[in-house]
Amino acid sequence: MLGIPRRYSHYVFGVLQSGLTSAIAAAIALFPGDGSPGLPLRWLASWLLAWCVMLPVVTFAAPFIRRLAVALTREG
């Protein structure tokens, strides 16, 4: 597809996985944005929510992302 050698597919996987993860986590983190005090507690609640959402996303998306990384690379 893009002609990236297959030996770099783990880097392609990392780019795709981190992009998906950070996009979803950023959307969750931006949601409350009211500027009130209590940042550590809000951050902890946001992180816990993001982790609970991302765990099944990563678990179920990883095989598809791995296939996409292989499709974007070539042997050699």
* Residue-wise pLDDT tens digits, 60-76: 888 888 889 889 888 87
Range of the domain at 31: 4-74
Q: Within the chain, which residues score under 50 in pLDDT?
A: none
pTM (predicted TM-score): 0.56
How far apart CA 17 and CA 24 sit, in angstroms, is 11
Split into its structural domains, the chain has a count of: 1
Burial of 57 (0-12, 13-18, 19+ CB in 10 A): middle
Burial 8-25 (b: 16+ CB within 10 A, else e): ebeebbeebbeebbeebb
